[in-house]
Amino acid sequence: MINNSSTDRWIRLESKSLDQQFLNEIIHGLNCSPFEASAVLDTVYNVFGSYFDSGASLKHGQIRLQVLSIEAKISQSISESKQISVILTLNDDKEDLKIRKKDGVIGLRRHKIQRVCQEAFDQGGLLTVEDLAYRIFNCGAKTICRDLAYFRKNDIFVPLRSTVKDVGRTLSHRLLIIKLWAQGKEYSEISLNACHSLSAVQNYVDKFKRTVALVKEGYDINRISFLLRISTSLVEQYVNLYHRLDFAAHQEEELNGFLKKRLTSNNQEASS
């Protein structure tokens, strides 16, 4: 006869857990099968897991906020979009007091906007203007919009949903990347400043150079939009930017080299 007392002991010990209590409540209270109850428990952990993690406890001055995931699609409604929980630093006494003393109330708010947006982005989330105005800073949306206008004017990229996902009229991150490139910044430095991957930065610069090349070859905006698979508004902004920017010497040389290489290639194709 096999002695199962040791096995039974471990089963009894494993049963004395919150997980098992939850499973029992679901099985008997909602008349679910053990499989269905386990699936419900997994969902609870997926949604509320960060709150159960003692290692993710809040520090002084921090808040936890539910925000849209960077993976959420623009085409989906907010209620159906993927969300995540992020930890944001609303107050940092050591850092914020220095900013308040130097730049005043407005300067401090703008500093905090940059900080919380970057923190959310680093954790895989994206804040919106409504999040900043109504859930974090308790101010009017127009106040936040004025701050965002200040950032755009000074080529400061803030990773909001509207900038990262190109919602509405904002296309600032692409234009900022081109401006930084024209100034002579390295791709790695641009990637860090604009909160975009290295491949994304290289792709934007390549599209910009191709836009300029096609304009010089006589293509109209609609044709360029079709060939490069970008919006006509972005083509127009790239063209306007090209005429306004002062290029660093080596970047101007790189751009001219690209144009010359393309022109030579086209002439060879025409003659063959």
DSSP code, position 131: I
118: enclosing H helix or E strand: helix 93-122
**Separation CA 195–CA 190 (nearest Å):** 8
Q: What is the pLDDT of residues 48-85, one digit of tens each?
A: 766 665 445 788 899 999 888 888 877 777 777 888 88
What's the one-letter identity of residue 115? R
Q: Is the pLDDT of residue 101 over 80?
A: yes
The rounded mean pLDDT for the chain is: 80
User: Quick check: 7 pLDDT over 80?
Assistant: no
Closest to 52 in 3D by CA, of 67, 40, 64, 36: 64
| pLDDT of 196 over the 80 cut | no
The mean per-residue pLDDT over the stretch 11-25 comes to 66
At 112, is the pLDDT very low, low, confident or very high (cuts 50, 70, 90)? very high
Q: What's the rounded Cα separation, in Å, for the pair 41 and 163? A: 36
Q: Which of 161-170, 212-221, 222-231 has the lowest mean pLDDT?
A: 161-170
pLDDT at 52: 60
What's the whole-model pTM score?
Answer: 0.55
Look at the alpha carbons of 73, 75, 78, 82 in this order and tell me if their dihedral is positive or negative: negative
pLDDT mean over 120-132 = 89
* Helices and strands: H and E segment counts in the chain: 13, 3
Query: End-to-end alpha-carbon separation of the chain, Å?
Result: 90
pLDDT digits (tens, 9 = 90+) for 235-263: 888 888 888 888 888 888 888 777 777 66
Average pLDDT value for residue range 37-56: 72
Q: Is the pLDDT of residue 134 over 50?
A: yes
pLDDT tens for each residue of 142-188: 999 999 889 878 777 788 887 776 544 444 567 778 888 888 888 88
* Exposed/middle/buried for residue 218 (C-beta within 10 Å: 0-12, 13-18, 19+): exposed
Question: What is d(CA 94, CA 40) in angstroms, rounded to the nearest whole number?
Answer: 43
Bridge partners, residue 69, by sequence: 125
CA-nearest of 267, 150, 166, 259 to 215 is 259
Closest to 193 (Cα-Cα) out of 209, 177, 182, 207: 177
| pLDDT of 45 strictly over 90 | no
Looking at residues 12-35, what average pLDDT do you find? 75
